[in-house]
């Protein structure tokens, strides 16, 4: 039996640059599928494209329209292939309409001078010492992740506005699955909308655009295996119907694997 | 006489979704034009497109190939127009090859509950009390900005590796020009590559992808006029040929106008 995640991002080549896929009930959100899996399916089209060069270093997905449950088509077209980088145009259509657009950059990395700058939060206890956040009554996709929030940072819907929206958690696929670029791309969207944290209340929201940078190469992802990753998310500003949120995703050895930035629509 | 910036992003409608433009010597970089002006030209195609809805809230530009000095063609195609949002596909071609791809989201904003979260750095002295950074011998585009670095944060190329790459500066167009979305999009790329700061040395670099979120509406930009903006930039990680950098751009009244994230190629 494949992991539900692999079933959810599975694509069939349709010829040329086209691939067919379908939403998967295991990753259902309030309306339509979880956006992270849609982003991963778009990336997967480039990952399995015969002209692929190297590994992903960035991915932008724009959610143009709600996705209905059912089949969809993805076009992944290499716009430009250079010596060590490759630029992709991505598009997801459903019933003839564009539901998502995107771009990705792939690269062959080389050994260079390297240096971390950001440092993994040191004050979050090990995943094994924390309890998994309850998922009862939550959308299906949240049940596909094992989330363990830092003490005191589990989202609480008590309606008390908080001074900031920072929260940190350990997270991995549930059931466990070895990390790869597709699952990392999906996980980059797993952070609860920051307005939920800031206002301690749910709200009608929708991610408009999501950009993720992959700092890790395939070897670093393979070294992580299926263990918990540490995520840290926050917002800069909530204004006139849109807020941003940014997050870092760390290996349990303290390496930055991805940083991710999204702009989110909200309605009161 | 129009401002050089307006001349540099000027586009002629070529019919359909196509526009013609040309690089401008005033915004020359080491090789080809300054990427910020290329990003602004791509945004400008959507801004002046007859089907435009609302104002930009996000822009992603992928730099697929070096741009040569001379003419180029931009295609700006509305991929999906919803009730209050509009998704754009952007592409810049030169001599028949794709040099840049991109996407933008426009929106009609509404009054909602709003709240800042990040706060403007309070320890940077007012622009009027700081000296403009010298631009002699620097690429042309740097002379098109008035940059005033926070005390002790002017980039110094003494070859001493520093522990972090954070730097803050006041910046505006030179000569002054009232702020709008195009000039803000361009300014989002004005931050020196963080590897220059971290290693206190120049390096061969190239921005691969640039995503900017616009937190301000047109009224907030108009209120800023042509006064200096405060920028704050840093990196998270330098690894195997690529680093990220993020920056915030603040009005002098302390409002967050834009946040911007890019991934940059580097070679030693």
pTM of the model: 0.98
- pLDDT tens track of chain A, all 268 residues? 899 999 999 999 999 999 999 999 999 998 899 999 999 999 999 999 999 999 999 999 999 999 999 999 999 999 999 999 999 999 999 999 999 999 999 999 999 999 999 999 999 999 999 999 999 989 999 999 999 999 999 999 999 999 999 999 999 999 999 999 999 999 999 999 999 999 999 999 999 999 999 999 999 999 999 999 999 999 999 999 999 999 999 999 999 999 999 999 999 8
Q: Parallel, antiparallel, or unpaired for β B12-15 and B256-267?
A: unpaired
* pLDDT value of position A79: 98
Structure tokens at A23: 């939403």
Residues whose CB falls within 8 Å of the CB of residue B52, separated by 6 or more in sequence, listed in order: B46, B86, B106
Q: How far is CA B83 from CA A35, A247, B9, B211, in A?
A: 21, 29, 29, 24
Q: How far apart are CA A34 and CA A142, in angstroms?
A: 9
Which of chain A's residues have a Cβ under 8 Å away from the Cβ of B239? 109, 114, 116, 215-216, 256
Q: Check A213 against B97: CB less than 8 A apart.
A: no
Burial per residue of B84-114, b for 16 or more beta-carbon CB atoms within 10 angstroms, e otherwise: ebbbbbbbbbbeeebbbbbbbbbbbbeeebe
ipTM score: 0.98
* pLDDT value of position B196: 97
Nearest to A237 among B97, B118, B238 (CB): B118
* pLDDT value of position A45: 99
Structure tokens at A220: 């670093």
Q: Check B103 against A60: CB less than 8 A apart.
A: yes
* pLDDT value of position B1: 87
Q: Check A57 against B110: CB less than 8 A apart.
A: no
**Running DSSP on this structure, what letter comes out for residue B129?**
G
Q: How far apart are CA A174 and CA A139, in angstroms?
A: 14
Low-confidence ranges of chain B (pLDDT < 70): none
Distance from CA of B98 to the nearest CA of A (A): 7
Angle, CA B235 vertex, CA A78 and CA B262 arms, to 5°: 30
Reference A52, options A15, A95, A94, A105; nearest CA is A105
Q: Check A87 against B266: CB less than 8 A apart.
A: no
Q: Check B101 against A89: CB less than 8 A apart.
A: yes
Structure tokens at B211: 């995503």
Q: Check B64 against A79: CB less than 8 A apart.
A: yes
**Contact indicator for A247, B244 with CB cutoff of 8 Å:** no
Entry field: residues in chain B: 268
Residue A131 three-state SS: coil
Which of chain A's residues have a Cβ under 8 Å away from the Cβ of B101? 79-80, 87, 89, 103
Q: How far apart are CA B240 and CA A110, in angstroms?
A: 5
Distance from CA of B175 to the nearest CA of A (A): 30
Residue B235 three-state SS: coil
* pLDDT value of position B31: 87
Nearest to A215 among B97, B211, B237 (CB): B237
Which of chain A's residues have a Cβ under 8 Å away from the Cβ of B115? 161, 198, 237-238
């Amino acid at each position: 039996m494949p992991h539900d995640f692999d079933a959810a991002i599975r694509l069939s080549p349709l010829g040329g640059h086209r691939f067919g896929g379908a939403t998967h009930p295991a990753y259902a959100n309030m309306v339509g599928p979880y956006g992270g899996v849609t982003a991963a399916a778009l990336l997967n089209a480039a990952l399995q494209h015969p002209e692929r060069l190297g590994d992903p270093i960035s991915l932008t997905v724009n959610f143009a329209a709600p996705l209905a449950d059912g089949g969809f088509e993805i076009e992944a077209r290499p716009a430009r292939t250079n010596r060590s980088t490759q630029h992709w145009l991505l598009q997801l259509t459903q019933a003839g309409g564009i539901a998502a657009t995107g771009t990705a950059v792939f690269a062959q990395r080389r050994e260079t001078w390297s240096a971390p700058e950001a440092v993994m939060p040191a004050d979050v206890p090990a995943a094994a010492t924390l309890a998994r956040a309850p998922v009862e009554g939550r959308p299906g996709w949240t049940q596909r992740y094992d989330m363990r929030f830092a003490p005191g940072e589990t989202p609480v819907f008590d309606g008390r506005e908080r001074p900031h929206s920072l929260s940190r958690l350990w997270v991995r696929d549930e059931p466990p699955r070895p990390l790869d670029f597709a699952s990392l791309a999906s996980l980059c969207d797993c952070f609860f909308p920051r307005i939920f944290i800031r206002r301690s209340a749910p709200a009608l929201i929708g991610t408009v655009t999501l950009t993720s940078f992959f700092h890790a190469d395939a070897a670093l992802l393979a070294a992580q295996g299926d263990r918990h990753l540490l995520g840290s998310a926050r917002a800069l500003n909530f204004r006139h119907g849109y807020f941003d949120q940014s997050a870092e995703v760390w290996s349990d050895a303290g390496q930055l694997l991805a940083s991710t930035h999204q702009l989110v629509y909200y309605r009161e």
